[in-house]
Amino acid sequence: MFARWSLYILLSALGVGLVVAGLVAFAAVMAYPNLPSLDVLKDYRPKVPLRVYSEDGVLIGEFGEERRAVVSIKAVPKLMKEAILAAEDERFYEHGGIDYQGVLRAAWANVVHGGSRQGASTITMQVARNFFLTKEKTLSRKFNEALLSFKIEHNLSKDEILQLYINQIYLGQKAYGFAAASQVYFGKPLDRLTVSEMAVLAGLPKAPSSYNPVVNPERSKLRQLYVLHRMLVLGFLTDAQYQAAVKEPLKVKHERHDYPAKAEYLAEMVRQDMYDRYKDDIYTKGYKVYTTLRWADQVAAYQAVRKGVMDFDERHGYRGPEKYVDLSEGDNKLDEILDDFDESEEILPAIVLQASPYVVKAYVKGVGNVAIGPDGLKRAKKMLEETPSHIKPGAVIRVQLDAKNRWQITQLPVVEAALVSVTPQTGAIRALVGGFDFNQNQFNHVTQAWRQPGSSFKPFIYSAALEKGFTPATIVEDAPLVFSAAQTGSVPWEPKNYEGTYAGPMRIRVALAESKNLVAIRILQSIGTNYAQDYITRFGFDPKMHPPYLTMALGAGSATPWQMASAYSVFANGGYRISPYYIARIENQEGRVLAKAAPVTAGGQGTSPVIDPRNAFIMTSMMHDVIRYGTGAKAMQLGRADLAGKTGTTNDQVDAWFAGFQPTLTTIAWIGYDQPRTLGKGETGAQAALPIWMGYMGKALKGVPEAAFTMPPGVVDAKINPQTGQFESGGAMDEYFYQEAVPSAAKKPDAPADPLF
Confidence band (pLDDT; 50, 70, 90) for 731?
confident
142-152: average pLDDT:
74
- In this structure, the answer to whether residues 301 and 434 fall within a common structural domain is yes
Per-residue model confidence as pLDDT tens digits over 422-446:
999 999 999 999 999 999 999 999 9
Angle at 667 between CA 662 and CA 673, to 5 degrees: 150
Say if residue 48 is exposed, middle or buried (CB neighbours under 10 Å; 0-12, 13-18, 19+).
Answer: buried
DSSP string across 261-323: S--HHHHHHHHHHHHHHHGGGGGTB--EEEES--HHHHHHHHHHHHHHHHHHHHHT-----SE
Confidence band (pLDDT; 50, 70, 90) for 117?
very low
- In this structure, the answer to whether residues 436 and 575 fall within a common structural domain is yes
Domain limit, last residue, from 247, 273, 288: 247
Q: Is the pLDDT of residue 562 over 80?
A: yes
- In this structure, the answer to whether residues 118 and 194 fall within a common structural domain is yes
Instruction: Indicate the SS3 state at residue 187.
Output: coil
Of 121, 220, 455, 621, which is the active-site residue? 455
Per-residue model confidence as pLDDT tens digits over 684-718:
999 999 999 999 999 999 999 999 899 999 999 99
Domain limit, last residue, from 689, 704, 719: 704
- In this structure, the answer to whether residues 625 and 736 fall within a common structural domain is no
- In this structure, the answer to whether residues 442 and 572 fall within a common structural domain is yes
Q: Is the pLDDT of residue 317 over 80?
A: yes
Domain limit, last residue, from 193, 213, 247: 247
Counts of helices then strands in the chain (DSSP H, E): 23, 22
Q: What local confidence, expressed as pLDDT, does residue 727 receive? A: 86
- The number of folded domains in the chain is 5
DSSP 8-state class, residue 437: -
Structural domain including 746 reads 711-757
Residue 373 lies in a domain: yes
- In this structure, the answer to whether residues 313 and 370 fall within a common structural domain is no
Per-residue model confidence as pLDDT tens digits over 594-643:
999 999 999 998 899 999 999 999 999 999 999 999 999 999 999 999 99
Average pLDDT for the chain: 88
Sheet strands (E) in 69-184: 175-176
- In this structure, the answer to whether residues 11 and 77 fall within a common structural domain is no
Per-residue model confidence as pLDDT tens digits over 345-386:
899 999 999 999 999 999 998 889 999 999 999 999 889 888
d(CA 575, CA 296): 28
Q: What local confidence, expressed as pLDDT, does residue 701 receive? A: 98
Instruction: State yes or no: is 88 an active-site residue.
Output: yes
Of 88, 264, 514, 735, which is the active-site residue? 88
Q: What local confidence, expressed as pLDDT, does residue 19 receive? A: 45
- In this structure, the answer to whether residues 192 and 271 fall within a common structural domain is no
Residue 525 lies in a domain: no
* Percent of the chain's residues with pLDDT above 90: 68
d(CA 390, CA 386): 9
Residue 290 lies in a domain: yes
- In this structure, the answer to whether residues 672 and 721 fall within a common structural domain is no
- In this structure, the answer to whether residues 383 and 301 fall within a common structural domain is no
The CATH number for 367's domain is 2.40.50.140
User: Which residues, listed in sequence order, are joined to residue 369 by a DSSP beta bridge?
Assistant: 363
d(CA 129, CA 145): 6
- In this structure, the answer to whether residues 214 and 345 fall within a common structural domain is no
Cα dist from 553 to 259, 458, 495, 516, whole Å? 43, 6, 11, 10
Q: What local confidence, expressed as pLDDT, does residue 24 receive? A: 42
Residue 486 lies in a domain: no
Residue 218 lies in a domain: yes
Instruction: State yes or no: is 590 an active-site residue.
Output: no
Residue 474 lies in a domain: no
- In this structure, the answer to whether residues 388 and 436 fall within a common structural domain is no
HSE of 405, CA atoms in CB hemisphere, 13 A:
0
Residue 489 lies in a domain: no
Residue 337 lies in a domain: yes
The CATH number for 164's domain is 1.10.3810.10
Model confidence, pTM: 0.84
